[in-house]
Chain A
Amino acid sequence: MKKQDIISSLFWMVIGAGVCYGGYDLELGTLRDPGSGFMFFWVGIIMMGLSLSLLIRAMREKSKTGEMKLIWSEVQWKKILSVIIALFLYAYAFNTLGFIFCTTIILIFLFKAVEPQRWSVAVLGAILSTLSAYLVFQLWLGSQLPKGLLNIG
């Protein structure tokens, strides 16, 4: 875990420093009357201390060849990235295009693009799932799902 631990400890050290600075900026107050940034400041210090200890331990560890490759081996990046991008696009278009349209499209994509299935299964599955979700959340539970520009739903 040497390389991963070095990378992650550096990441957390930066986050800890940010939290620490943010806490200081918010006012520490006094011990008799701790201010808004008191807890943030000390938690930030603890985070930096912990990441430093993790970093030192990782530096002392012997490096194993190919360990980074092992973690990321066989990862199908295309699938992961396509799902993440689809989710972000869904959130982006949700209010504008509305629940029913967005949900049907993302489900067809997920059914079809990640583990390809027949078009009929993907389209029918997407429509049925969207309508069931609409019935449960909008009609039964009274959630306010957006209709969007297309005014569907």
Chain B
Amino acid sequence: MELLNYLSIGLSVALQPVNLFYCFAGVFIGTLIGVLPGIGPVGAMSLLLPTTFKATPEAAIIMLAGIYYGAMYGGSTTSILVNIPGEAASVVTCLDGYQMARKGRAGPALGMAAFGSFIAGTLSIVGLMILAPPLSQFAIKFGPPEYFTLMVLGLTILIYLAHGSMSKALLMAAFGVVLGLIGLDSINARPRFTFERMELMDGVGLVPIVMGLFGISEVLLNIEQAFRREIFETKIRGLLPTAKDWKDSTGPLARGSLIGFFLGILPGGGAVISSFISYAIEKRFSKHPEQFGKGAIEGVAGPESANNAATGGAFIPLMTLGIPPNVVMAMLLGAFMVHGVQPGPLMMKQNPGLFWGVIASMYIGNFMLLILNLPLISIWVQVLRVPYKILFPLILLFCLIGVYSVSNAVFDIYIMILFGIVGYLMKKFDYEGAPLVLAFVLGPLLENNLRKSLIMSQGDFSIFFTRPLSAVSLVLALLLLVSPLIPWMGKKRAEIPKEEIS
């Protein structure tokens, strides 16, 4: 009953015309950037953050959240029709989706991707509604040691799941922490690493770093070589899957939703990993595994539902603990803060309209996405035909104006270009950007909670081991860090699908 009350509060916020508009704008832009290879949800959210400054916090977060889950829908379209994933979470959909299109079954593949996304997205919102309130209550009891160790665990999981060398991922996280701490010391207001530049007193902005690492560097990578893509020329008909398709897909849909939701909650997990794990599980349990990779609809239904369910799960740690589990959520945390809202255990009590409004808007957004992605699929196919030589100047233009609009400072444009070059070189030298950004956001929180914990314990580190939750978090983090030295765990890590495959 209580949940229904909360839902009605949420619906009263989400159904306001202005919020409906922002929700539609979010899912529309999300689908668009999902369809377009070369710019992901993180880049798009940072690009569009300035457009939310005039809006209420509810409208802003509703739109930015819509971009995230909208991108998961849109990403499947390019995977199926072009064999190029629109974003990393749709990589695995290429395997069977494109093969279905080649066999003249692009319609059912797109249809199942959309229905699967809708069903999983909706189920994950239900999960979010059920789990968020008790977790918020539980999190109120957390002190600085618990927050510090949970953040350490979150970063460690992200590093563990990172592509390639763990040392490189750890280095990136360490560098991210350093960048995050630049500016005035939060305790004694002493300038740190500001090089006597006034612009650095408030620290380095999240938006220039994210736009540089994920926007400018992507463009540089794409223009360094001839960029070609061919759309599979087929008429898309019969978007509704057949009864047999549904029968084959029911199990993968249910499993994908569960896997996606729970992996989405885990720090560092998220949409990419869950889509790969769902594919691997479906293939393993299938009666005809030989069909996978040749156009099996289960290979589309499972991963597509998993990556959408993960988006709902990812909101749980952010909204109940204030800890972002992945880079997209880190970006969203930045947006919350820009609008003067602190996500965490008290948010549900202090800002019930915002908390439940965002959740309710996700139900509405999922309906909008179903309409956008089924009857209007031909529009997105047309978008795919825009050549990259037209697209990349526009992406750069949005990066330039977007970054300037946040702070009205040319200094931030320089920072963005610098991080664009850094991001380009990082990709060339096989370093990942995700640990850097997450550590950048968590850096100040990490330092603050570490210092508070040490002050509390009068310099005794045992405070992290005598409190059950922090002890468990630290032991888990330690296990993950030493895992490459343990042969069987190292092997398991090597098998984890990699985000950078795209």
- Known contacts A40-B192, A43-B177; A145 and B410 CB within 8 A of each other: no
On whether the beta carbons of A19 and B178 are closer than 8 Å, the reply is: yes
The answer, among A74, A107, A141, for a CB contact under 8 Å with B50, is A141
Known A-B contacts A75-B225, A107-B393, A141-B51; the reply to A40 vs B193 at CB < 8 A is: yes
Contact with B along A104-142 (1 / 0, CB 8 A): 001100110011010000000110011001001100011
- Indicate whether A111 sits within 8 Å of B393 (C-beta atoms), given known contacts A43-B177, A50-B167: yes
Tell me the count of chain B residues lying within 8 A, CB to CB, of chain A: 61
Interface code B440-462, partner A: CB below 8 Å = 1, 0 otherwise? 00000011001100110011110
Interface string of B148-173 (1 = CB under 8 A from A): 00000000000000000101101100
Does the CB pair A8–B404 fall under 8 Å?
no
Contact status of A43 and B174, CB under 8 A, knowing A129-B393, A137-B50: yes
Also in contact, A83 and B413, with CB within 8 A (given A51-B171, A54-B165) = no
> Hey, which chain A residues are within 8 Å of B188, CB to CB?
36
Which residues of the partner chain A approach B396 to less than 8 Å between Cβ atoms? 83, 87, 106, 110
Beta-carbon contact of B401 and A145 below 8 Å: yes
A25-47 with Cβ < 8 A to chain B: 26, 30-34, 36-40, 43-44, 46-47
Chain A residue at minimum C-beta to C-beta distance from B431: A8
Number of A-B contacts (CB under 8 A): 164
B403 to chain A, nearest CB (A): 10
Closest Cβ neighbor of A94 among chain B residues = B410
Report the separation of the CA atoms of residues A34 and B389 in the bound assembly, to the nearest whole angstrom: 52
Given contacts A36-B188, A36-B192, A115-B389, contact A80 B223 (CB under 8 A): yes
A80 and B417 within 8 A (CB): no
Q: Which residues of the partner chain B approach A90 to less than 8 Å between Cβ atoms?
A: 400, 413
A24 CB to nearest chain B CB (Å): 12
Contacts of A94 in B (CB 8 A): 404, 410, 413
- The minimal Cβ–Cβ distance linking B170 to chain A, given in whole angstroms, is 5
Cross-chain contact of A133 among B171, B219, B401, B460 (Cβ < 8 A): B401
The answer for the CA separation of A18 and B461 in the assembled complex, in Å, is: 27
* B454 close to A32 (CB less than 8 A): yes
Q: Within the assembled complex, what's the spacing in Å between the Cα atoms of A145 and B398?
A: 13
* CB closest residue in chain A, given B403: A91
Bound complex: CA A38 to CA B398 (Å): 39
- Cβ-defined contact, B390 with A39, below 8 A: no
Query: Total interface residues on A, using CB and 8 Å?
Result: 66
Q: How far is the CA of A80 from the CA of B220 in the complex (A)?
A: 6
Residues of A within 8 A of B192 (CB): 22, 26, 36-37, 40
* Contact across chains for B405 and A141 when beta carbons are under 8 A apart: yes
When distances are taken between beta carbons in the complex, the residues of chain A under 8 Å from B460 are: 31
Q: Is B414 an interface residue, CB under 8 A from the partner? A: yes
Shortest CB distance B189–A (Å): 9
Select from chain A the residue with minimum beta-carbon distance to B447: A39
Is A76 on the interface with B (CB-CB < 8 A)? Answer: yes
Smallest distance from the beta carbon of B398 to chain A beta carbons, Å? 8
Among residues of A, the one whose C-beta sits closest to the C-beta of B387 is A115
Q: Mind listing 10 A-B residue pairs with CB under 8 Å?
A: A15-B175, A22-B192, A30-B459, A33-B454, A39-B451, A53-B167, A83-B223, A84-B417, A94-B413, A145-B405
